[in-house]
Structure formats: C-alpha cells, structure tokens
Structure 1
Amino acid sequence: MIRKNIYKWHRISSLIIAIPVLLWAISGLMHPLMTTIKPQMATQSLALQPIDSAALETPLPRALEQNKITHFHTMRLVQIDNNWFYQVQLKNGDPPVYLSTKNGKSLRNGDKLYAQYIAKQFLQGQPQPPAEAQDEHAGHDMKEESSSHDCCDAATTCVLADTSGALVESVELVTGFNKEYKYVNRLLPVYKVQFDREDGIRVYVETMQDRFAYAVDNKRAGFDRFFALCHTWDWLSATGRFKYLLMGLITGLGFLTTIMGLYIFFITKTKKGKQPLARTRRTHRIVSLIACAFTLMFTFSGGLHALEKLKTPDPIADNLSNEIPASAVTLNYSRLQAEIPFAVCDLSITRIDSALYWRAVTKNKKVEYLHAAHYTILPNGEEQHALSLATTFSGHAARDVVKMERITKFAGEYGFVNKRLPVWKLSYASNNNERYYVETSTGKCAAQVTDKDLFEGYSFALLHKHHFMDWAGKSARDISTMIAAGLQVIMVLVGLFLFYRWIKRKRS
C-alpha cells in the first residue's frame, strides 16, 4: 500500500510545499549577506568620561524644585559637549527631562537633542576632549565666560549647529516595534535619528543608557523587506496566530516529504541512461540525498520555532516606577567621590528594596553602590541589587537562589538577541530550573529561561542558524548556511522541472 502510493504522496506534498520552501531557501541564502552588508559605524559603545564635579553648581533638590518635580523614577548625570545635565526620568519608560547642573533650567527638547548628540558619535566617532587652558590668562577668560554661559543654549547650539559629517534630517521617538525596528532589537523606547546621506542611514539609540540599538541604511532595509516578505511572512502578521500555525503545518509537511523522499531513494535504484529525463532524475536524487539532512534540520527547527510563537508568555513586571520623592534626595558629590578611589564616569540613583542608593560606575567599569543619605558603600552592592530585582520579577524568596553569576558576553542560552550587557543570571531550582537575567543599570529583566525553553532555543540556534559551526567562526557558519540553503533551491527547482516533464508526458 505504502510502496504503491509513495510516489503520488511525495509528488502531491512536494507541490504543496514547493513555493514556500523556495521562498524560505532563497531568503535564507541571502541572510548571511544581510548580516554582513550593514552600515559601518565608528563605534557601538561610547567611552566613559569622568564627571566634572565643578559643573554641579545647582544642587539636585533645587533643580527638581525649580521644575516642580516632586517624584521621579531615576536620575543620571549626562554631558552634551561641555555642558552637564541631570537626566531625570519621571516615570519608567517615559522620555527623561534634562535639568542644567549650572542653573537648574530645563533643556527644551532635551531628549531629542541628546539622541542626536550620541547618534552622531556612534556614526562618526566621539569628539576629542577640549584642550585645557594653556596659561592663567586663558583660564581666567574661560572662568569669566562660564559665569555668563547658558548651558541650555550652548547645548542646543552644539547639537543643532554641528555641521561636521552628515547632517541630521529628522529625529523620531519610537515606543513600539514596527516594520523597520523589529522585536528582535528588544530595546524600547528608542530614538530613530535619520541622517542626510545618500544611503539614507537611520541610527536607533537608547538615551537612558547612551546605548546603540540598531542602524539601517536603504540597502540593508531592502534586504530586510525581502526577508520579511519571503522568510518571516510579515504580510500574514495581521492574521495573528494563524501565520505561525500555517508555517508549522508547512514545515511539518516538508519534514514528512523529506522522509518519503528518503524512503523512495532506498527502495528504488538509480536508472541509468543518457536521456535528459534520466539525467534530471539522477540529479534530483543526488542533490536531494545531500540536501536531505539540512532539509530535516531546517523544517524541524523552523516548525518548532513557529509553533513556539503560538504560546503567550506571562509578562514580567519590570516597568514599575521607583517613585522617589524629590525631598528624599541630596547629592553631595565631593563626599561621594571621597568614598571611591577612582573617577566616577556614570552616576544614577536606584532603589534596592526600600532604600535608595547611588549607583556609581568608575573609569575602570567597577560598579559601587553608596547609600543615598550617608554615602557608605554597600558591600556587594550590585549583587544585592540584582537579587532584589530577581526577587521582584520571579516572586521567589531571596534564599531560593541556587546560583548567581555576572554575564559579560553573549553565549549559550543568553545570546546576542537579548541585547543587554552586562547582566546578572540568577538560577532557581523550581519551575523547570528557571533563570532570570537582570540588568542592574536599568532595573530590567533581560530574559527568563527554563529548561523547557532550551530545547527549542538550541534547536533553532544549532539546526536553523548553524551555530554548530561557531567553532570555525562567523564566515564558516555563513558559508555552511548558504550551501545548505542553496541545495534546497536546487532540489526544489529540479523537482519542479521533473513535475513539468511528467505533466507534459501525461498530456502527450
């Protein structure tokens, strides 16, 4: 029964999946090119600059009171050229306001200006620090100039009048994922900064962490649109879960078709002959045999990945605001710096349980936590902060943590797709050995993973994206992917040609 109908079943199922597989294979063939042909950035991380304590002329409480701010989520010190600002985020996820450390004035459109300022540095490189005064007279002139200097006007002029390199064409706040800035980029909210260049480059930045999020030019955008059309089928996104169900069914049928093809190969012999049809059949058999391992890998991992999308994960409440009273915060910077032996390059305030702490990052990237009131250093402060965050996100008690470690690079289950570094990994014995990855600089949950998730995650990484070739480097992995996808294209095209000849012969 099976042997009698296997050819017919294989032919019918092959016809059903031919076009989808061809689309997936061609776009998969181009994917390594997409990851290689991307806009060139001068840097993807900004060098830390020491905070200028002399610039903190207006105390933080006075600046907050002056701008009628009674509560806020967090605060950082940031710099635009030589001008320093309190970057104050009122609620978690909202664009921050920028208050001058010189006079407490609010910088108009401050977050947009800062987005332009750092986006240009990512694209063109950071400016050199200004040269110091050469003599007493120069220093005196600078001091006199500083006394009448309005840092808000200066910062605005610095950004808007900067004619070096590419000019900024537009700046747009992005609060949700869209066709260009997709979910794979993870970070929100961000600013899209478009530059006036022939390639139409757009740089996405996260201002609360001075973080590069994504860059795309017209060429890369074209690749992305093609991939979205042919591989991820974004044109079906409006159908919701149906898209993933359909993709799961087609990949499942593709897996079954490959099994049937293997069965046919082993129960039949290759026919000899010099006729074009015989040669085409031999080509199809040989290519299909070589390609079948990759076909099984692609269809299995792709189908599993699509079906995994049918699940609706429970949201993690990492968007709660700290609600820090303005009256509860003072900043004695000289006292804070006296407790830390190295220059502080990043300073923010956060809450650990019910207490407030200054989070200071030094020039050598060491993180210290100091009590907001009496400036004593909290021993293992970052570990305690990570533990507090994980306790909030997981609902587990702190004593339930079985292992805790700092992650400084993407590897294994915490891959590049998660975007945030450094993070802390906290492991629990319950709920399939769940792990939480938390980012202390933002208070965000970067990822939640259980043993159940590993099977799908590793199958997609190893079988679909060919990360089993990581040992040989990215180029070798890309070549492996392209060979595998290319074989799928040849296999389908030869198969379609055989079907065309079969139809033609039947009609004659």
Structure 2
Amino acid sequence: MSSNSPRRPSSLIGWLLRWHPRLGAVVGLAIIAWGLSGLAHPIISRIQPSAEAYLYKLEAFSTADLLSVSEAAKRAGITQSLTAVRLLAWQQQAYYRLQTDSDIIWLNANSGAVVDNAERDYAVFLARHYLGDQHSAVKSLSLQTEFDEDYVFVNRLLPVWRVAFEREDGMRVYVDTASDRLGTVVNNTKAATSVFFRNVHSWIFIKNDNLRLTLMSICLVGGGVIALAGLLQYFLQWRAGRGWRQGRSALKVHRLLGVTVAITAVTFTGSGLYHLWQKQFVLQPVAVPTQSVAAEQLAVNWSAVNANIVQADMVAIDGQAYFRTWYEGELHYIDARDGQVLNDGERLHAIALVAQYMPTDAPIKATRTVESFNDEYGFVNKRLPVIAVDYERADHLSVYVEARSGALATVVRDADRYEGFSFAFLHKWHFIDGLGHTPRDIISACFATGIALTFSLGMFLFLRRARR
C-alpha cells in the first residue's frame, strides 16, 4: 500500500496534464465568448439610448355630455362585438378607443363621430413624448404583432406601434397605444449591440432549440469541469513540489489567472446551466380566449359615475363586463351596464384572471399588490403594478397578473425561486449590490475578463504544444 501511495498523485497529475488542455480546447471558444460578452454587458447597458420620459400621465376630464359606449357605437354605425374598450382624454377631447376582431376605431366620446387616423396619430404622439423629440420627421409607422431582432421578447408588450424617425441614429420607438406605455427605444447602436450579445452570449444563431440547448449545456459543464480540474492540478503540483512555478511566462500567467478565477468560472457556468435548464420546465399557461362584448351591453352613464374621471378600460370578470375606472384618485370597478361599483373589484378580477391562465384546485393563501420589482418578481418581468395570487401548494405557487391589461406577468414556484436566487447572486453578482451598481459591474466584468484570458492562454499553450 505504501509503495503505491506516492504514485497516485503523480498518476492523477499526469492525467490532468493530459486531459485538462484537451477538454479546454474543445469548449474554450464558447467560454471565451461568454466571458467577453459578460464583460461587454455592463458596457452595452451604459451606451444604450434612454427615453426622455418613462411615463405618460393622463389628465382628468369632465363626464358631462359623454355618450355611453352603446350610444356612441350606434351613432357610428358599429355593429361588431368589441374585444377592448377604452375611454380617455387626449388633447382636451374625450375619446373611445374601440377594438374589434379586425380593427381599432376611435370615436369622439361626445358626438360618436369616427376619428380617422387617430390610432396612428396617437402612436406618433406617444413616441414623441417618450423620446422628447417634437421635430424629427416620421420615417415609418407600423403595427408590430410579433417579437423580432429589433424588438425582442424581453420588452414583453405586444402589439406595439413601431415609430421610426428620420434621424442619424436611426431611432425607433415602440409604444403601446392600449395602455399609453413605452415598449422600448432602439437606435442603431442598441440594435447592433443587441445582435452581438444575443448571438455571442445566447447563441441565437443556432435556430434549432434542442441543438442549442445541447451544445450550450456541454460547454457549460465542460467549462466548470475544466476550472475545477485546473484548480486541482495546481494544488497537487504545489503539494508534490513538482516545479509548479516553472515554465514560460504564458504558462505562469495562465496558472495565476486560473487559480484566481477558477471558483468564479464554476459559479458562472453552474448558474448559467441551472438557468438554461430551469427555463425548459416553466409552467405553461392555458390559452385564454379573447373577450367579446356587444356594444349595447355597455350602457353606463358616465356623468352618474362621477363628474370627472381619468380613464376607463373594459374588463371581464366571470363573463360580466366591467369598467376599470380611475376617479377621485382611486381605482373603481363599475358595472358596464349600470355603473354600480363592484366591491374589492381588482382582487376579484385578479383571481378570475389567474383561474383562467393557471387553473388549480389548491386554495388561495393570499393576494398581494406588487408595486415595485423585488428578488422574486424582477425587472425582467417589466409589468407594474401587478397582483400576486399565492396558493396553498407544496411548490408554493404564485401567479402574477396585470389587471390593467389582463396579461399574465409570470408564474413562480419554489424551483423558480431557487433558480432566480442562483442566477441573481452567482451569475449577476447581486450579493455585492451594497457596493453600488457600477462597482458591482466592474468587479464582475474583471472576473469575466479573467476567465476569457485564462481560456485564451490555455488554448494558446495547447496549440503551441500541438505544433511541436
């Protein structure tokens, strides 16, 4: 036994010396790409264009002389069922924004007259408001119903109007006229950096999802194994006293950098792999059919509701139409037929939405209004405010819905919480948020650069040895 024990570390060192560089050569390019794109991410976020404003505030208007929806639609000759109805004021005039299965129609809420091109004009108005540009000519205007390379899924809102301006930076603004919201602003720089990051970091150039998942998984596992193997090799050579300080400068730098960033490489690749696979097991919502209401059912007398309102949006709760209405600084749900207020309307609406998107027999534990992003409901979800409905289940299911649009914001279970914690702390380094946003980005970028340099030197050493 004693005669064999000295040879074990020697044999292991030899195996590591043989396979550590070979495995590194296989996955090295992928790790280098991830390291460089990780370095680029905070830089990209700082050179992207920013909007002049991020909120458009509607003003209250008088309800005197307002027609009901049914009367306005009758005067305009609209006979189709309505899938969305909105009452708002714009440029000192109250309007109904009516949506059918095939069209969007704006009516003067006082006369019932159809307002031509109002939807397009409102889109341009919102785009100019958010961009702070009242002078540049509009180059193009189009309705976007799908995400693409320019307007990616992370922006969440659809459909949106794409308003492109005649400017040297190629600025285009995406706005949601159904809720007055900004989708995003994109110029040529942001578009180019987005394409770079999504190709280099997320590998969208591989169109086959299964192939992309497989290749990324192999490279992530390989990167973590290489980092651990290198750390083990360094330790064994140091303990054996077998010339671990020897070698040319490139080898010495590779070793020093490798020891410095090895654990970080493992946390980056491990959390990335966890994030990649957790996305494959998210709960899929049920497809919710579009609500459809006959205009004659929307007969509420607005002047009887309140003398002034800010806006009203039609919603459906258990098949009944209501208007989600703001007045006197508060939100009210009123019956679309007679204006009666529905007590606790927003909570009932949220529960009804959740029951449609994510049916479950589990009892409801609590409902919560979420008005700011947090560790569980992060900025990536975009929508605020939202209502969270928590269930009494073993996986502690929470479903977030936006009552304003009726949209599902996100679904969170314990598995999602664990992965979110892992990604936030091990991949994005939020555990050092106390130092400030910029110091955190600098530190994490330095480690990402170190990982890329370590693998670059490793591949250089491997190729130099192979040539010999």
Using the size of structure 1 for normalisation, the TM-score is 0.84
* Structure-1 separation of matches of 2:214 and 2:284: 20
Deviation string, structure 1 residues 423-458 (Cα, Å, up to 9, x no partner): 000111226111100111111111111112222222
Residue type of the partner of 1:337?
N
Residue type of the partner of 2:72?
A
- The answer to whether residue 365 in structure 2 is matched with residue 402 in structure 1 is yes
Q: Using the TM superposition, give the Cα deviation of residue 5 of structure 1 relative to its aligned residue in structure 2, in angstroms.
A: 1.3
* Structure-1 separation of matches of 2:244 and 2:82: 81
- Residue in 1 aligned with 2:205? 235
Among candidates 407, 413, 422, match of residue 376 of structure 2: 413
- Residue in 1 aligned with 2:316? 351
* Structure-2 separation of matches of 1:25 and 1:363: 53
* Structure-1 separation of matches of 2:248 and 2:290: 71
- Residue in 1 aligned with 2:356? 392
* Structure-2 separation of matches of 1:240 and 1:272: 46
Q: Using the TM superposition, give the Cα deviation of residue 49 of structure 1 relative to its aligned residue in structure 2, in angstroms.
A: 0.9
- The answer to whether residue 69 in structure 2 is matched with residue 60 in structure 1 is yes
Deviates more, 1:263-272 or 1:409-418: 263-272
Deviation string, structure 1 residues 143-202 (Cα, Å, up to 9, x no partner): xxxxxxxxxxxxxxxxxxxxx322211111111111111111121111111111111111
- Residue in 2 aligned with 1:169? 139
- Residue in 1 aligned with 2:268? 298
Among candidates 15, 20, 31, match of residue 25 of structure 2: 15
- Residue in 1 aligned with 2:7? none
Q: Which consecutive unaligned segments of at least 5 residues does structure 2 have?
A: 1-10
**Structure 1 contact 427–434 (Cα < 8 Å) conserved:** yes
* Structure-2 separation of matches of 1:107 and 1:81: 13
- Residue in 2 aligned with 1:375? 339
**Structure 1 contact 17–250 (Cα < 8 Å) conserved:** yes
- Residue in 2 aligned with 1:145? none
Calculate the aligned-residue CA RMSD, in Å: 2.3
Residue type of the partner of 2:123?
A
Identity of aligned residues (%): 29
Among candidates 280, 285, 308, match of residue 250 of structure 2: 280
- Residue in 2 aligned with 1:323? 292
* Structure-1 separation of matches of 2:90 and 2:358: 38
- Residue in 1 aligned with 2:104? 96
Residue type of the partner of 2:20?
H
* Structure-2 separation of matches of 1:47 and 1:271: 71
**Structure 1 contact 252–299 (Cα < 8 Å) conserved:** yes
Q: 1:313 to 1:379 in 2, by over 3 A?
A: closer
Q: 1:188 to 1:298 in 2, by over 3 A?
A: same
- Residue in 2 aligned with 1:107? 115
Deviates more, 1:416-425 or 1:33-42: 33-42
* Structure-2 separation of matches of 1:190 and 1:473: 34
- The answer to whether residue 303 in structure 2 is matched with residue 334 in structure 1 is yes
For the residue of structure 1 that corresponds to 2:205, the secondary structure is helix
- Residue in 1 aligned with 2:413? 450
Among candidates 124, 130, 138, match of residue 116 of structure 1: 124
Deviates more, 1:378-387 or 1:367-376: 367-376
1:125-144 → structure 2 map (5 Å cutoff): none
- Residue in 1 aligned with 2:94? 84
* Structure-1 separation of matches of 2:281 and 2:275: 11
Residue type of the partner of 2:259?
L
**Structure 2 contact 237–244 (Cα < 8 Å) conserved:** no
- The answer to whether residue 49 in structure 2 is matched with residue 39 in structure 1 is yes
Q: 1:82 to 1:411 in 2, by over 3 A?
A: same
* Structure-1 separation of matches of 2:384 and 2:26: 44
Q: Using the TM superposition, give the Cα deviation of residue 227 of structure 1 relative to its aligned residue in structure 2, in angstroms.
A: 0.8
**Runs of 4+ displaced beyond 6 Å:** 270-275
Q: 1:52 to 1:195 in 2, by over 3 A?
A: farther
Q: Using the TM superposition, give the Cα deviation of residue 472 of structure 1 relative to its aligned residue in structure 2, in angstroms.
A: 3.0
Q: Using the TM superposition, give the Cα deviation of residue 39 of structure 1 relative to its aligned residue in structure 2, in angstroms.
A: 1.2
- Residue in 1 aligned with 2:3? none
* Structure-1 separation of matches of 2:358 and 2:280: 23
* Structure-1 separation of matches of 2:213 and 2:266: 19
Q: Using the TM superposition, give the Cα deviation of residue 477 of structure 1 relative to its aligned residue in structure 2, in angstroms.
A: 2.5
For the residue of structure 1 that corresponds to 2:31, the secondary structure is helix
- Figure out how many residues of one structure are paired with residues of the other and give that number: 455
Q: 1:4 to 1:462 in 2, by over 3 A?
A: same
* Structure-1 separation of matches of 2:50 and 2:120: 23
- Residue in 2 aligned with 1:155? none
Residue type of the partner of 1:390?
V
**Structure 1 contact 124–165 (Cα < 8 Å) conserved:** no
* Structure-2 separation of matches of 1:349 and 1:215: 28
**Structure 1 contact 273–279 (Cα < 8 Å) conserved:** no
* Structure-1 separation of matches of 2:23 and 2:445: 25
**Structure 2 contact 300–338 (Cα < 8 Å) conserved:** no
**Structure 1 contact 89–96 (Cα < 8 Å) conserved:** yes
Using the size of structure 2 for normalisation, the TM-score is 0.91
- The answer to whether residue 448 in structure 2 is matched with residue 485 in structure 1 is yes
Q: Using the TM superposition, give the Cα deviation of residue 287 of structure 1 relative to its aligned residue in structure 2, in angstroms.
A: 0.9
Residue type of the partner of 1:235?
F
* Structure-2 separation of matches of 1:425 and 1:53: 33
Among candidates 198, 221, 231, match of residue 252 of structure 1: 221
